[in-house]
Amino acid sequence: MVKAHITIFFLFLFLMGQTELHQLLKLPILVEHFREHRRLDAGITLLDFLKEHYQGHTVMDNDYQRDMQLPFKTTDCVTTISIVCEEPVAYEIDRVMAEVKKEFNLHPEYFPSRQALDNIFQPPRFA
């Protein structure tokens, strides 16, 4: 039961932060603004109010700032998720085995520095 509550809480938190669902929290402003319009014009219906504020172009009248506080009038959160689904493409890679042979002829007589190091590096002697 607790896991379900935690899951619902995180789902709610995600939806409020990553979608425009948080605009629903502005519904009391919509109701109050509708009441303000009803005080000015008692014959206005809710449908007329919604048409005036949401359909067509936004009119810059004396209550423009109040109109912009209504839900879904502005965009606060824009999240774009792109999922690309493509068919898998089969690629064939031909493996070519390359063999590199190098010959090194290392003989002690070819290293003159070896003889110089013989005098320095000698095994320890017992006295």
Average pLDDT, the chain: 80
- Distance (Å, rounded) from C-alpha 22 to C-alpha 13? 10
- Distance (Å, rounded) from C-alpha 79 to C-alpha 81? 6
Percent pLDDT > 90 in the chain is 21
What would the mean pLDDT of 47-56 be, rounded to a whole number? 88
> Where along the chain do its domains lie?
2-67
pLDDT of residue 99: 78
Q: Which residue has the tokens 């669902």?
A: 21
Report field, pTM of the whole predicted structure over 0.85: no
